[in-house]
Structure 1
Amino acid sequence: MRHWSNIAFGLFIVFIIALGLWEYQWDLKALEDGIRAEPLLGALLYITLLIASVVLLPFSSLPLLPLAARIFGVWMTGVLSIIGWWLGCLIAFQIARLGRSVLERFVSFAVVDRLERRIPPDINFAGIVMLRMILPVDLTSFALGLLKNLRFSTYAVASLLGIMPFAFVWSYAGGEIGRGEILPGIAILLVLLLTVMMLRRKWLR
């Protein structure tokens, strides 16, 4: 199972690179100019899409990063990504804790249930930070919301700390790919892949 998850993550990185190349060929000047003319609305739209990517399984926001980095810049994209993913994970946590029965009518929780069984019921602050670094934000948020003894405040702070470093790494890599600097972008994503694989191996021991 771990082997296949690593393969899936590697293939997803290849997909991000390919999509970045594709986006680089698009004529998006009108869209970019429009968002730059209304930066607040553009930022709110991006944050909303990120929140939706966490709450609405299995939609992913990562393919948006190359385009966002071109429009907002790497550092602002990182900040906006942190805000969007963090708000999304807080909402997903509360949905899992309070409204799972309603959400199950629209999405499957089979993967979430499998992940929840692997998480220790007494997971600590550092453990949540680690999970944020090695597992998708969406699945982890729902799974952690099922743990009755986990305090929301602990979850919120640990999630923020876990999301921050990878948000900037993803944004920087997306920015490199989005402006056509493919080799640096690939190098960053490969380092990210190896880091995640090592952290996962350590967590699964």
Structure 2
Amino acid sequence: MKANILIVIVLSALVALGIWQWEWDMSWIESWIGLHPVLGAGIYIVLVAASVVLLPFSSLPLLPFATQYFGTVVAALLSAAGWWVGCLIAFQIARLGRRHLERFTSLEAIDRLEGKVPADIGFGGIVVLRMILPVDVVSFALGLLKQLRFRTYAVASIIGILPFSFVLSYAGGKLGDRQFLPFALAVVGMVVVIVVIRRLWMRHR
């Protein structure tokens, strides 16, 4: 229930920012990215990765901008790369020790999630978690599971991240183009899929 409320709040913020940005003159950013596409992509990846590690910041409000300037496919790949790099960094921070987590996130949130994650979670479980829960807190919690191999975590994470990076990029692009119906359909479809996958996973557990 809390996860569903969080999704609604984040997506509402995304809509608000998308509406707000229509009043901005963003031509200078478009021109700059046109002259420095590689640097612009690199900066975007860094910002997305930082949003995973430095809670409670979120990179979702950046998606309408990224989709507008890079296109849906490229923005999705850049977002996935940023989230993936961020989740790998968060995982390694957690591996360094619980005392380091206090600098980045709430230990209470970590403790709550850690109690819900099976100690013997495997490849498929990580993929599912990536689809139904926020990237940031999950990354820290999984890093505390000592028996979880980094390679397994890394590969499963990118597989779980990729599908929704494309959906979110598509939704952000439609919002930026003021195409509300495709945006709403993409968001509703994503939420339905998340809820179904979450219930199936909880039932399987």
Residues 54-203 of structure 1 correspond to what in structure 2 (within 5 A)? 54-105=52-103, 107-203=105-201
Aligned-pair identity in percent equals 55
Report how far residue 54 of structure 1 moved: 0.6
Matched residue of 2:22: which SS? helix
Shift in CA distance, 43/99, structure 1 to aligned 2, threshold 3 Å: farther
Equivalents in 2 of 1:202, 1:51: separation in Å?
29
In the alignment, is the contact (CA less than 8 A) between 1:112 and 1:142 conserved in 2? yes
RMSD (CA atoms): 1.3
Moved segments of 4+, more than 6 Å: none
CA shift digits 1:81-133 (9 cap, x unpaired):
11111111111000001144134145422112110110000001100000000
In the alignment, is the contact (CA less than 8 A) between 1:17 and 1:186 conserved in 2? no
In the alignment, is the contact (CA less than 8 A) between 1:24 and 1:180 conserved in 2? no
Instruction: Report how many residues are paired.
Output: 203
Shift in CA distance, 121/155, structure 1 to aligned 2, threshold 3 Å: same
In the alignment, is the contact (CA less than 8 A) between 1:54 and 1:60 conserved in 2? yes
Q: Larger relative contact order (C-alpha < 8 A, sep ≥ 6)?
A: 1
Residue 95 of structure 1 aligns with an amino acid whose one-letter code is I
Report how far residue 193 of structure 1 moved: 0.9
**Could you tell me the TM-score, scaled by structure 2's length?**
0.94
In structure 2, runs of 5+ residues without a counterpart are none
In the alignment, is the contact (CA less than 8 A) between 2:94 and 2:100 conserved in 1? no
Select between 176-185 and 85-94 the one with higher mean Cα deviation: 176-185
Equivalents in 2 of 1:126, 1:13: separation in Å?
27
Report how far residue 61 of structure 1 moved: 0.2
Matched residue of 2:25: which SS? coil
Equivalents in 1 of 2:139, 2:2: separation in Å?
22
CA shift digits 1:56-79 (9 cap, x unpaired):
111100010001100111110011
Report how far residue 35 of structure 1 moved: 1.4
Q: 50, 53, 61: which one pairs with 1:52?
A: 50
In structure 1, runs of 5+ residues without a counterpart are none
Select between 131-140 and 27-36 the one with higher mean Cα deviation: 27-36
In the alignment, is the contact (CA less than 8 A) between 2:3 and 2:133 conserved in 1? no
Shift in CA distance, 105/159, structure 1 to aligned 2, threshold 3 Å: closer
Residue number in structure 2 paired with 1:20: 18
Select between 157-166 and 193-202 the one with higher mean Cα deviation: 193-202
Residue 45 of structure 1 aligns with an amino acid whose one-letter code is I
Equivalents in 2 of 1:156, 1:50: separation in Å?
17
